[in-house]
Structure formats: structure tokens, C-alpha cells
Amino acid sequence: MRPADLWRHSSFRLALGVTLLVLTTLILAGGVGYGLMRERLSTRQDARVTEIFTAIAQTSLLNDRVDLIEAITTRIQASPDRSTAYLLTDDNGQLLAGNIRDTALPRGWSTIAAAELDIPTNYLYRVFSGPAGQYRLTVALANSDQQQLQNIVLGAFGWAALVAGLATVAAGAILAARVQSRLSSAEAAVALLAHGDLSARLPVSGRGDDLDRISSAINASLVRLESSVEAMRQVSADIAHDLRTPLNRLRIRIENAATRLADGLPAEDDLMAAIAESDRINETFSALLRIAQIESGARRAQFTTVDLTGLMQIMAEIYADVAADAGHTLYLDVTDPAPVSGDRELLTQTLANLIENTIRHCAPGTRITCAVRGTADLVIASVSDTGPGIPAEEREKVLRRLYRLEQSRSTEGTGLGLALVKAVADLHSADLVLADAEPGLRVALTFRRSVGT
């Protein structure tokens, strides 16, 4: 990766920003700490100067000039580097002892550069000048500790900044390279998607980081998109295949009617048959449009609390006589109320489709059971029968639009009943399961119980 490209990567900028924040925090904390230590050292330095001045001043009270000069001379000899400096003058300003320039120093405390005291260093001196008996005494102490502390702190921060800066550039470059590698793979996948390859997926490293979560979410969306597009292709193929026969029948009916009219014969039967065929085609398209509307999710805004137990009781009462006329026996197996959040009209049509499918496709003598069972969190509504059932390998296929089993092609219907049931189940986030009833088929819908009930 070129250095000029580093700044374009958010990972590099983030690493640099974090480093600057850390360094700023360290500088502020170090500045506060340095200020506190410097204040403490200044206090100790002033206390040391006061201590020396007081000790010498006590000697001056003895009025022994020789002893006083000797005491200062001894102290001067004990500090050859002149880190501690002294100056003693009498009332006439005559120099009696000292190792600094005799200059007009202010009384009291002052801070003076070493050059002004004729000392060849770069340190500042903390100076106290005042009377000591009949003499004037000046004591100066170099602030070397403070200067060394300052040099240490500045050096430490300088090296820390340098190391942190180099580490930031290196870490940012590594992160940017790793992210760029993953983004390049993602860009390749997106390019395939742009060319219509819906099987392409974004790379997932397996580390569970934020990029993995985003990639997983996008991949899940791509799976749904691929399924939707495949379903649309399948629907188009099924429509073209399944509507060809009724359209051909409609054309034949119309041609027969036209031929009979041309021969002066009555054509009412052919025209009525053509109308009936047209109604069946229109019913198919209406069902397809209804399924598309349900799958759009717009009906969620109409959700209310629906008692599936009460709804199943109503449907069982409506279809009991229909089932009896077809030679079936319909049983109701419900107990307590089972409230769910949903669209009452769609749930009613779903239960009606399941019961009608059973009545239409089962031989006389079949037992049909409509049941609702509930747990603390779930509600299960099911319709089962003792009929021929559906082979396990066909159970997923019958949920597709216009798909019909071979033995059911001679019966009435559009092949959209179970597709509509699947659409309603998905709208309600319910699990739809087709299982073996031993014998027969059991179709079960599992809902989450409505909150607050």
C-alpha cells in the first residue's frame, strides 16, 4: 500500500486520532504532575535556603567576625561547584567572604540567572538576601533539581511521542492493509452481484468483529434476495406453464362459439364455458396479487390481538356441514383462549384454505381435526387428516405458487392455497410445518403468544 493512500483509510485515521488523544492526555497529566513536583521542589529549595541562612545568622549573633567568615569559607569550600553560593558584606559594603559577584541584590527572595552571579552554569539560582546581625548575608541555591526534572520530563515525553508516532503509523498501516484486503474481497463480491451473480457473498473472517457482523447481515439479506429472485423466476415459469392449458381451453371455447355462430347454431354453452374459464384465470391472478400484497408486509399495520381458539371454533362450525357433505368427519380440539398478534382476515383465510384443501383432496371417510394448543409463550394451530398425505420430498414444493401434486391436477383449485398460507405465516413470523400424521397430513402454524395476555 502506498503511503499516500494511508490517510484515505478510516482505520489509519482512527489509530492516529487515538494516539493523539492519548498523547494529549499524557501531556496534560504530565504537565499537572510536573507542576506539582516543581512546586514541591521550589518549596524544599526555599526551605533549604532559609535553613542555611538561619544557621549562619545564628553564628553572626556571637559578634565574632573571624568565626563568621570562617564558617562561610568552610561552606564555600564544601560546595566547589558553587551549587550553593554565599556573599557576606559589612555595613560599609566591604566584601568579607563569598563565591559570587558582589552585585546589588534586592533584599528578600529573588530568582537570578547564574551569569549575573558570575557562575559559569545555565541554572537559575534561588536567592535570599537579608541582615545577619551587623552584616548583610546572601545565600543562593541552584535549582538544578528542577532543571534536571524538566529535562527528564521533556525527554521522556519526546521519546514517548516519537515511539507512539512510529507505532501509530505502523499499526495504522497494518490495520489499513488488513481492512483493505477484506474490502477488496467485498468489492469483488459486489462486482459479481452487479453482474447478476446473486450467489456471491461477502467474506467473513470468523473473528466476530464489526466487519464480520456487517458482512453476515448483508449475506443474510443476499440469501433472502436470491430466494426472492429465484421464487420470482419460478413463479414466472409456473405461470407460463400452468396458465397455458386454461388459456388454450378458453381459446378453444371461443373458437367453437364463433364456428357455431357462423353456422347459425346456438353458442350459449360454449360462451358460458368460456366465461367460467376466464373466471378461473382471473381467480388465479387475484390470488397471485393477494400473495404479493401479503409478502410486501403492508398488512402488519392492521395487526390486532386475535384469539385463535375462537377463530378455529368459528371455522369448524362453518365447514362442519361442508365436510359432512363430502363424506368427512370434522372434529374440533381446542381448550383455553390463545391470543396472538395478527391480521384477523388473513388468519381466517389461512384456516379456511387448510380446511378446504383437506376436504377437497381427501377421499370420503377421512377424519379431519382442527386443533389449537398453547404454552406460556407459543400458540400452535393445526389441521390434520387421515387422508393420503403428502410425500416428504414434496412438502417444500407444495408451498410454491401454482405447484400441484400429480394426483391433484384433476381436482379444482389454483395451486395457490398453501402458497398463501406460507405468505401469511411469514407475515406473522410464524413457523409453518407439514408433517406426517400417521396416517395423513398435519399442517401446523406456530405463533408467539400475544404480549400482555
Question: 373 - beta bridge partners?
Answer: 380
The residue ranges of DSSP E strands in 320-385, in sequence order, are 329-334, 339-342, 367-374, 378-385
State mean pLDDT over 3-23: 67
What's the confidence (pLDDT) of residue 263? 83
What's the confidence (pLDDT) of residue 418? 83
Residue type, 254: I
379 band by pLDDT with thresholds 50, 70 and 90: very high
Helix (H, G, I), strand (E, B) or coil at 404: coil
Pairing of strands 124-132, 135-142: antiparallel
329 band by pLDDT with thresholds 50, 70 and 90: very high
Q: Where are the domains of the chain?
A: 3-148, 243-295, 302-448
| Among 172, 155, 161, 159, CA closest to 23 | 161
Q: What is the pTM of this model?
A: 0.49
Ramachandran angles phi, psi of 62, nearest 5° = -80, -10
CA angle 448, 450, 453 (to 5 degrees): 130
Q: How far is CA 156 from the centre of its chain?
A: 39
CA distance 379 to 382: 10
What's the confidence (pLDDT) of residue 402? 67
Tell whether the model's pLDDT for residue 10 goes beyond 70. no
411 band by pLDDT with thresholds 50, 70 and 90: low
**174-183, 308-317, 377-386, 441-450, range with the lowest pLDDT:** 174-183
What's the confidence (pLDDT) of residue 281? 75
Query: Is 309 or 212 the better-scoring residue by pLDDT?
Result: 309
Q: List % helix, strand, coil for the chain (3-state, nearest 5).
A: 60, 15, 25
State mean pLDDT over 241-258: 79
Strand order in the sheet with 95-98: 95-98, 84-89, 135-142, 124-132, 108-113
Query: Is 215 or 241 the better-scoring residue by pLDDT?
Result: 215
CA distance 120 to 122: 7
Tell whether the model's pLDDT for residue 245 goes beyond 60. yes
Helix (H, G, I), strand (E, B) or coil at 328: coil
221 band by pLDDT with thresholds 50, 70 and 90: confident
101 band by pLDDT with thresholds 50, 70 and 90: confident
CA distance 325 to 321: 6
DSSP symbols for 249-305: HHHHHHHHHHHHHHTT---HHHHHHHHHHHHHHHHHHHHHHHHHHHHTTGGGGG-EE
C-alpha dihedral sign at 316, 317, 319, 321: positive
Q: Give the mean pLDDT of the chain.
A: 81
pLDDT digits (tens, 9 = 90+) for 149-160: 777 877 877 787
DSSP symbols for 343-401: -HHHHHHHHHHHHHHHHHHSPTT-EEEEEEEE-SSEEEEEEEESS----GGGTTGGGST
Kindly report the CATH class assigned to 302-448: alpha beta
State mean pLDDT over 413-428: 80
Helix (H, G, I), strand (E, B) or coil at 162: helix
What's the confidence (pLDDT) of residue 190? 80
Contact 186, 214 (CB under 8 A): no
Tell whether the model's pLDDT for residue 284 goes beyond 60. yes
Helix (H, G, I), strand (E, B) or coil at 123: coil
5 band by pLDDT with thresholds 50, 70 and 90: low
Contact 351, 384 (CB under 8 A): no
Query: Is 321 or 197 the better-scoring residue by pLDDT?
Result: 321
Tell whether the model's pLDDT for residue 30 goes beyond 80. no
- CB hemisphere CA count around 414 (13 angstroms): 22
State mean pLDDT over 354-367: 89
pLDDT digits (tens, 9 = 90+) for 181-206: 777 777 787 887 777 777 788 778 77
Question: 329 - beta bridge partners?
Answer: 367
What CATH number was assigned to the domain covering residues 3-148?
3.30.450
What's the confidence (pLDDT) of residue 412? 56
Q: How far is CA 215 from the centre of its chain?
A: 11
